[in-house]
Structures are given as structure tokens and as C-alpha cells.
């Protein structure tokens, strides 16, 4: 990966900070016009969707949205690099097994990087990224994350990355201004803590659960920024991690880089590159339908995400026109369905329970899982009778506030067991029958 295209992308990105909504929307329309013409000409699956809907390209905002399952079902004719789902899955899985983290496939459009999403339930996502797209990604991330923006590149930074797999996407930003150290999540936490302390990073990037575990093992560092990735950042984790430096979060999914922090630490949708339609699902929550206005190798056109967001109603003091995310509430799959006063199930969003359990003093960690139609198990650390009583009281109050009837819900507490190394943590979830594996 060369540094020049990355710097170019970082500079270009600086130009793309919009202060007015009409200017941002005009920019999106310009990008969409060019991009969709190219995509429809090269991706048979996208062209077929327009034909099936009877819509010309100019009416793309009306195209019925696709889901991840539909995306995977048409993968072979959706991507424009001629990669089949079987090839992509084999390449990515082999890379994870051998821990050779530069899985690339030669294609007529140049080398393409293959990755798997780290989702723990449902269907595993697959992504393909071309070289130019990778440079754009790296430039955008660097500019947003480096203290001082792209000017931060004039100083040397030491970046500690805690990742499940040493993603080539992240590694690609390495250059002489930047030193990258990869901390493998499968190694013992005490060892990671010692190495992190000795490395003296200026920037720390990782899933909040892992960073907390490393911090609990006594890692003492002063970084310029701590960046939460891959999991929802809970307020209590953010509070603890602030001992290392200012904490920000990045919202990235298989479907792309979706939101980045501004200089005020607020999360903004990446609207200079991705168009977001936001479907209201009740309770002040929205579900994004994205159209990526840049990615050509694996196009995302009117693609519905599983994540639910809460937007911030006020503009950000930074002045950006890109909308501001108040909370990534979680996956819609993780919402609980518990009986309401009439017996009919009521939806309880994960952040309600996270908020309730974050309020229990002395509770280090927890998981809440719905294990039956009316049963909810709280795994607590530590699991003392006192904390158990308080946790149950907070959860009952949260259920009542969400419109459920706590009297009809069987609640129990158990000690929290450590997660297997490298597993993605979900603090609130609903047990469900295993979704069928993708077998190409
Ligand atoms: Zn802002």
C-alpha cells in the first residue's frame, strides 16, 4: 500500500467537509449520477434490480431495499470483479485459519481484499475491497482519527491495534509517519497489557471489551486518543477508558465505514461518501438504508442494515452538515421481545437494558440474554446477592419504562463467565435458533 494515494484521499476528504445541508445533498446527487451509471453497467445484479422495479437510474432513491441475505444470494453477479461467493469465503476462511492476514484475490479489476464480518449471529457477511477503495478508506480514517487531522502526519505516531484478525485494511495505513503494532486478541490479556505499556502508543484502537480487559490487567498508558471499534461503546466503558486518553468511536460494519468522530468527539454519518435513508422503526430509532456512492467492487445500493441508530436532534458545535449519531442502539436482531401488560410481546431495545445495568454501582461487567418467550437471564460480575438485587430492580424498572410487564418475566442472575478469546461481545442479546450457514 502506497502512502501517496492515502494522503491524496486524506486531503480530498478535508475538502469534503460540508457546512450546509443543501451543498452536501448536491454533492451526493453528483456522485450518485456518475456512480450508479457505472455500477448498473458493470453489476448485472444491480441492473436487474432496477429492471425488476421498473425504475430508471435517476429514481434510485425509490428502489426497494435489499438485505444482507439478498446481497449474499446475488453476490456472484453483484460484485464487479468476477469473484464468486465460494471463492471469497474460501479465501477469507483460509486466511483466518493460517493467520495470514493479507487475503487477496487477483481479479480483472486488480487485486481485491477479502474479509469476513465479525458478526456472532445470523449470516456472516463477506466484503470485497479494491485498491483505490482501500486508499480512500485509509485516508478518511486517518484524517478523522489522527490527533490534529492529516496534519497529525507531520509527527510520528505509534498506533496500537487490538483486532480479532490483523485486517489488511487497517494495516494498509502503515508508512514512515506511522508505526503500527498489532495486538492479537487470541493472546493472553496479561501479556497484551505488558506489551502495550512498553509500546507507549499515541493512538489505541480496539473493541471496548478488550481494551477494558487489558486495562484491568494494569496496562498504564497515556494516549492522545482511544478509538472504540467493532462493538457498541457503552457509557461505562467510555468512562473507564478515559483514564488512557480522550475516547472516540468509529462505526464501521461489513457494509462500510458509516460514521466517524469529529474534533468534538461526536459521531457523524459519513455522508460525503455514503447516502443514508433512515427508516423510522418507533421509539425514536431509525434503521439506515445505505447507498455507497464510491464502492465499485462490491456495490451497496439501497442496502438495509440490521443496526438501529438514535440521531442527535441538535446540530454539532463543529458545524458539519453531516447528521450526528447520538447512539448506535444495536442490532435489530438483539432487541428483546417480552410480554407487555396484555400478554402481547413488546420490543425492548438493547440500550434500555445497557442504560439500566450501567447504573448499578460496583457492577464490573454483565450480559443480559433473553432465553425464552418470557425469560431473561442476567450474567453478572461480580455476582453477589446485593448486586443481584440491585441489578434485578434496575432491569424491572427499565422493562416497565419500555412498556413490558416485569411481573410476567422470569428473571434470574448467574455469575458471568469469561468469553472465549477473540469473541465479539454483545451485552444484550436474544437467543434464537441458529441461522443457516452460508454454503455456497
Ligand atoms: Zn461534530
C-alpha of residue 312 to centroid of ligand 1, in Å:
11
CB atoms within 10 A of CB 2: 11
The burial class, CB within 10 Å (0-12 / 13-18 / 19+), for 417 is: exposed
**Chain segment 387-428, per-residue pLDDT in tens:** 999 999 999 999 998 889 999 999 999 999 887 766 667 788
Residue 6 has pLDDT above 80, yes or no: no
Q: Which of 168-172, 228-232, 251-255, 279-283 has maximum average pLDDT?
A: 279-283
Percent of residues in the chain assigned helix, strand, coil, to nearest 5: 35, 25, 40
CATH code for the structural domain at 156-249: 3.40.50.980
Sign of the four-CA dihedral 63, 69, 74, 78: positive
**Chain segment 312-354, per-residue pLDDT in tens:** 999 999 999 999 999 888 777 778 889 998 888 888 888 778 8
In 5-123 the beta strands, taken as DSSP E runs, fall at: 104-105, 112-116
Residue 119 has pLDDT above 70, yes or no: no
Instruction: Name the residue with cell 446527487.
Output: 29
C-alpha of residue 262 to centroid of ligand 1, in Å:
5
Give me the count of residues in the chain.
440
DSSP assignment of 117-185 equals: ---SSSPPPEEEEEHHHHHHHHHHHHHHHSTTGGGGGGS-EEEEEEESS--HHHHTT-BTTEEEEEEET
C-alpha of residue 259 to centroid of ligand 1, in Å:
11
C-alpha of residue 302 to centroid of ligand 1, in Å:
26
The residue ranges of every structural domain in the chain are: 3-134+253-329, 156-249, 335-430
CA–CA separation, 89 vs 49, rounded Å? Answer: 24
Cell numbers of 61, please?
Answer: 432513491
C-alpha of residue 342 to centroid of ligand 1, in Å:
43
C-alpha of residue 405 to centroid of ligand 1, in Å:
39
CA–CA separation, 225 vs 261, rounded Å? Answer: 11
pLDDT the model gives residue 118:
53
C-alpha of residue 155 to centroid of ligand 1, in Å:
24
DSSP-derived 3-state class of residue 110: coil
The burial class, CB within 10 Å (0-12 / 13-18 / 19+), for 75 is: buried
CATH code for the structural domain at 3-134+253-329: 3.40.50.12780
> What class does CATH assign to 335-430?
alpha beta
Question: How far apart are the two ends of the chain, measured CA to CA in Å?
Answer: 31
Element (H, E) at 328: strand 324-331
C-alpha of residue 243 to centroid of ligand 1, in Å:
23
C-alpha of residue 311 to centroid of ligand 1, in Å:
13
CA–CA separation, 179 vs 113, rounded Å? Answer: 22
C-alpha of residue 315 to centroid of ligand 1, in Å:
8
CA–CA separation, 180 vs 244, rounded Å? Answer: 18
Given this chain, do its domains 3-134+253-329 and 335-430 carry the same CATH topology? no
Amino acid at each position: 500500500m502506497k502512502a501517496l494515494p492515502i494522503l491524496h484521499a486524506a486531503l480530498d476528504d478535508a475538502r469534503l467537509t460540508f457546512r450546509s445541508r443543501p451543498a452536501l445533498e448536491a454533492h451526493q446527487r453528483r456522485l450518485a449520477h456518475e456512480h450508479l451509471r457505472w455500477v448498473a453497467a458493470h453489476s448485472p445484479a444491480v441492473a436487474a434490480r432496477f429492471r425488476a422495479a421498473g425504475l430508471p437510474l435517476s429514481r434510485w432513491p425509490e428502489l426497494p431495499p435489499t438485505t444482507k441475505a439478498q446481497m449474499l444470494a446475488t453476490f456472484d453477479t453483484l460484485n464487479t470483479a468476477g469473484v464468486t461467493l465460494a471463492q471469497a469465503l474460501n479465501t477469507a476462511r483460509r486466511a483466518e485459519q493460517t493467520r495470514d492476514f493479507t487475503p487477496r484475490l487477483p481479479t480483472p479489476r486488480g487485486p481485491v481484499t477479502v474479509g469476513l464480518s465479525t458478526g456472532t449471529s445470523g449470516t456472516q457477511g463477506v466484503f470485497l475491497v479494491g485498491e483505490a477503495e482501500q486508499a480512500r478508506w485509509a485516508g478518511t480514517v486517518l484524517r478523522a482519527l489522527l490527533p490534529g487531522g492529516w496534519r497529525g502526519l507531520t509527527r510520528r505516531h505509534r498506533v496500537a491495534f487490538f483486532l480479532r484478525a490483523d485486517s489488511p485494511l487497517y494495516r494498509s495505513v502503515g508508512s514512515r509517519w506511522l508505526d503500527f503494532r498489532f495486538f492479537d486478541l487470541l493472546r493472553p490479556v496479561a501479556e497484551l497489557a505488558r506489551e502495550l505499556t512498553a509500546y507507549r502508543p499515541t493512538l489505541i484502537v480496539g473493541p471496548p471489551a478488550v481494551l477494558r480487559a487489558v486495562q484491568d490487567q494494569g496496562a498504564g498508558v497515556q494516549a492522545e486518543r482511544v478509538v472504540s471499534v467493532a462493538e457498541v461503546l457503552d457509557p461505562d466503558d467510555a468512562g473507564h477508558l478515559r483514564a488512557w486518553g480522550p475516547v472516540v468511536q468509529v462505526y464501521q460494519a461489513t457494509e462500510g465505514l458509516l460514521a466517524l468522530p469529529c474534533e468534538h468527539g461526536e459521531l457523524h454519518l459519513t455522508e460525503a461518501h455514503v447516502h443514508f435513508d433512515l427508516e423510522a422503526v418507533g421509539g425514536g430509532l431509525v434503521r439506515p438504508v445505505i447507498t455507497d456512492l464510491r464502492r465499485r467492487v462490491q456495490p451497496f445500493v439501497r442496502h438495509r442494515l440490521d443496526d438501529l441508530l438514535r440521531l442527535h436532534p441538535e446540530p454539532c458545535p463543529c458545524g458539519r452538515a453531516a447528521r450526528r449519531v447520538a447512539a448506535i442502539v444495536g442490532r435489530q436482531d438483539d432487541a428483546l421481545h417480552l410480554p407487555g401488560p396484555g400478554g402481547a410481546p413488546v420490543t425492548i431495545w438493547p440500550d434500555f437494558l445497557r442504560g439500566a445495568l450501567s447504573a448499578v454501582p460496583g457492577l464490573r461487567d454483565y450480559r443480559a440474554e433473553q432465553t425464552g418467550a418470557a425469560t431473561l437471564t442476567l450474567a453478572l460480575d461480580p455476582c453477589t446477592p446485593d448486586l443481584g438485587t440491585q441489578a434485578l430492580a434496575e432491569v424491572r424498572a427499565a422493562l416497565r419504562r419500555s412498556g413490558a410487564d416485569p411481573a410476567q418475566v422470569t428473571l434470574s442472575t448467574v455469575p458471568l463467565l469469561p468469553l472465549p478469546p477473540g469473541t465479539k461481545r454483545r451485552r444484550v442479546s436474544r437467543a434464537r435458533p441458529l441461522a443457516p450457514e452460508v454454503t455456497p
